[in-house]
Chain A
Amino acid sequence: MRIEGSFDIALPRAAVYGHLTDPGLIAACIPGCDQIERISPTDYRARVTIGMGGIKASFNLVVEVTSEQPPERVLSQTRGEEGSRASMLAADNEVALEEIDAANTRVSYVSDVSVTGRLGKFALGVMKKKVESLGREFAERLRERIQIQPAASSAPEAVPQ
Chain B
Amino acid sequence: MSDPVRAIGSSPPRLEAGDKAIGRAQYVDDIQRPGMLYAALLTSPHAHARILGYRLDAARAIAGVKAIVTGADLSGSRSGGIIKDESMVARGKVRYVGEIVAAVAASDPQTASRAATAIELDYEPLDAVLTIDEALAPGAPVLHEESASYVKAIQGGGHGNVVFETTVAEGDVERAFAQCDVIVENTWQTQAQHNAYLEPGGCVADVDASGRITLYASCQSVHHVQQRVAEELGEPMARIRAIAMRVGGGFGGKHASNIHSIAAWLARAARRPVKLVLSRMQDFEIQRSRHPARIWMKTGARRDGMILARDVRITLDGGAYADESPPVLAFALLMSRGPYRIANVRARGQAVYTNKLRAGSFRGFGNPQASFAGESQIDELASRLGINPVELRLANAMRPNDTAFGGQPVASCVLRECIARVRDAQREAPPLAPRNGRRRGVGFAVMSHISGLMGTAATVQLRTDGSIALSTGCVDIGQGSDTAMVQICADALSVPIERVSYAPQDSDASPYNWKTAGSRSTYMTGRAVAVASLEMRDRMLAHAADMMECAVVDLELRPGGVVGLKGVPKTVGFREIAMRSLFHSGGPIVVTHGFVFDGTGFDPKRASIHQLAFANLGVYTFGAQCVEVDVDEGTGQVEVRRAWCAHDVGRAINPVSCEGQIQGGFVQGMGYALVEAMKWNAEGWLITATLADYKVPGVLDCPPEIHPIILEDPDPTHPVGAKGIGEPSLVGAAPAIANAICNATGARLRTLPMTPERVLNAMDSRS
Q: Of A84, A85, A88, A121, which contacts B687 at CB under 8 A?
A: A121
Determine if A116 and B97 form an interchain contact, defined as CB atoms under 8 angstroms apart. Answer: yes
Contact A114-B682, Cβ < 8 Å, known A84-B117, A85-B117, A88-B45: yes
Binary per-residue interface labels of chain A (82-94) against chain B in the complex, 1 for a CB within 8 Å, 0 otherwise: 0011101000000
In the complex, the answer to whether A124 meets B117 with C-beta atoms within 8 Å is no
Asked if B585 is at the interface of the complex by the 8 Å CB criterion, the answer is no
CB < 8 Å: which of A85, A86, A88, A124 contacts B681?
A124
Residues in B with CB closer than 8 Å to A88 are 45
Is B689 in contact with A121, judged by CB distance below 8 angstroms?
A: yes
Instruction: Give residues 93-113 of B contacting A (CB, 8 Å).
Output: 97
B246 CB, nearest partner CB in chain A, Å: 30
- With a cutoff of 8 Å between Cβ atoms, the chain B residues found around residue A84 in the complex are 117
Whether the pair A116, B683 counts as a contact (CB closer than 8 A) is yes
B690 at the interface (CB under 8 A from A): yes
The residue of chain A having its C-beta at the shortest distance from the C-beta of B117 within the complex is A84
Contact between chains at A114 and B117 (CB < 8 Å): no
Cα-based distance from A82 to B726 in the complex (angstroms):
46
- Give the residue name and chain of the B residue nearest to A86 (CB): B117
Q: CB-defined interface of A107-118 with B at 8 Å, one 1/0 digit per residue?
A: 000000010110
Q: How far is the CA of A86 from the CA of B117 in the complex (A)?
A: 8
* A90 → B minimal CB distance (Å): 8
Cβ contacts under 8 Å, B690 to chain A: 121
What is the minimal beta-carbon distance from B680 to any residue of chain A, in angstroms?
11
B685 in the interface (beta carbon within 8 A): yes
How many angstroms from the CA of A117 to the CA of B43 in the assembled complex?
Answer: 11
Residues 681-695 of B contacting A (Cβ, < 8 Å): 681-683, 685, 687, 689-690
How far does the Cβ of A48 sit from chain B's closest Cβ, in whole Å? 19
Chain A residues, CB < 8 A from B687: 120-121, 124
Interface size on A, residues (CB 8 A): 10
Within the complex, the shortest CB–CB distance from A120 to chain B, in Å, comes to: 6
A-B contact count (CB 8 A): 23
B116 CB to nearest chain A CB (Å): 11
Say whether, besides A85-B117, A121-B687, A124-B687, A116 and B45 are in contact (CB < 8 Å). Answer: yes
Compute how far the CA of A24 lies from the CA of B97 in the bound complex, rounded to whole angstroms: 37
The residue of chain A having its C-beta at the shortest distance from the C-beta of B281 within the complex is: A121
Q: Give the CA-CA distance A121 to B687 in the complex, in Å.
A: 6
The docked-state distance in angstroms from the alpha carbon of A74 to that of B217 is 56
Q: Taking CB as reference atom, which chain A residue is nearest B686?
A: A121
Residues from chain A with Cβ under 8 Å of B97 in the complex: 116
**Which B residues lie within 8 Å of A86 (CB)?**
117
Q: Nearest residue in B to A81 (C-beta to C-beta)?
A: B45
Residues in B with CB closer than 8 Å to A117 are 45
**A-facing mask of B41-52, CB < 8 A → 1, else 0?**
000010000000
Residues on the A chain within 8 Å of B685, using CB: 116, 120-121
CB-contacts of B262-305 with A (<8 A):
281
A120 / chain B contacts, CB cutoff of 8 Å: 681, 685, 687
Residues in A neighbouring B45, C-beta threshold 8 A: 85, 88, 116-117
Shortest Cβ distance from B684 into A: residue: A116
Expressed in whole angstroms, the Cα–Cα distance for A86 and B685 within the complex equals: 14
Specify which chain B residues have a CB less than 8 angstroms from the CB of A85 in the assembled complex: 45, 117
* B664-705 with Cβ < 8 A to chain A: 681-683, 685, 687, 689-690
Task: Please name the residue on chain B nearest to A116 by beta carbon.
Answer: B685
Min CB gap A3→B, angstroms: 14
CB distance from B732 to the nearest CB of A (A): 34
Of chain B, the residue at the smallest CB distance from A114 is B683
Nearest CB in chain B: distance from A115 CB, A: 9
| Distance in Å: Cβ of B51 to nearest Cβ of chain A | 16
Of listed B682, B685, B689, B690, residue having the most chain A CB within 10 A: B685
Distance in Å from the Cβ of A70 to the closest Cβ of chain B?
Answer: 31
Give B262 Cβ to nearest chain A Cβ, in Å: 21
* Identity of the chain A residue whose Cβ is nearest the Cβ of B125 in the assembled complex: A90
Q: Which chain B residue has the least Cβ–Cβ distance from A121? A: B689
Specify which chain A residues have a CB less than 8 angstroms from the CB of B681 in the assembled complex: 114, 120, 124
- A120 vs B45: C-alpha distance when bound (angstroms): 11
A86 to B114, CA, bound (A): 11
Most chain-B Cβ atoms within 10 A of its Cβ — which of A116, A117, A120, A121? A121
**Distance to closest chain A CB from B46 (angstroms):** 9
**CB neighbors of B among A95-149 (8 A):** 114, 116-117, 120-121, 124
Cα distance A7–B281 when bound, in Å?
41
| Chain A neighbourhood of B689, CB < 8 A | 121
CB-CB contacts of B688-727 with A at 8 A, as 1s and 0s? Answer: 0110000000000000000000000000000000000000
How far does the alpha carbon of A101 sit from the alpha carbon of B117 in the complex, in Å?
A: 54
User: What is the bound-complex CA distance between A121 and B43, given in angstroms?
Assistant: 15
A117–B681 Cα gap in the complex (Å)?
12
B679 (CB) vs chain A CBs: closest residue: A124
Query: In angstroms, how far is the closest chain A Cβ from the Cβ of B123?
Result: 11
CA distance A120 to B688 in the complex (A): 11
Q: How far is the CB of B677 from chain A (nearest CB, A)?
A: 14
Shortest Cβ gap from A86 to chain B (Å): 8
Chain A residues lying within 8 Å of B682, measured Cβ to Cβ, are 114
A116 contact set on B, CB distance < 8 A: 45, 97, 683, 685
Say how far B167's CB is from chain A's closest CB, in angstroms: 40
Could you list 14 further interchain pairs (A-B, Cβ under 8 angstroms) beyond the known A114-B683, A121-B689? Answer: A85-B45, A86-B117, A88-B45, A114-B681, A116-B45, A116-B97, A116-B683, A117-B45, A120-B685, A120-B687, A121-B281, A121-B685, A121-B690, A124-B681
15 CB < 8 A contacts A-B: A84-B117, A85-B45, A85-B117, A88-B45, A114-B681, A114-B682, A114-B683, A116-B683, A120-B681, A120-B685, A121-B687, A121-B689, A121-B690, A124-B681, A124-B687
Q: Which 3 A-B pairs have the closest CB atoms?
A: A114-B683, A116-B685, A120-B685
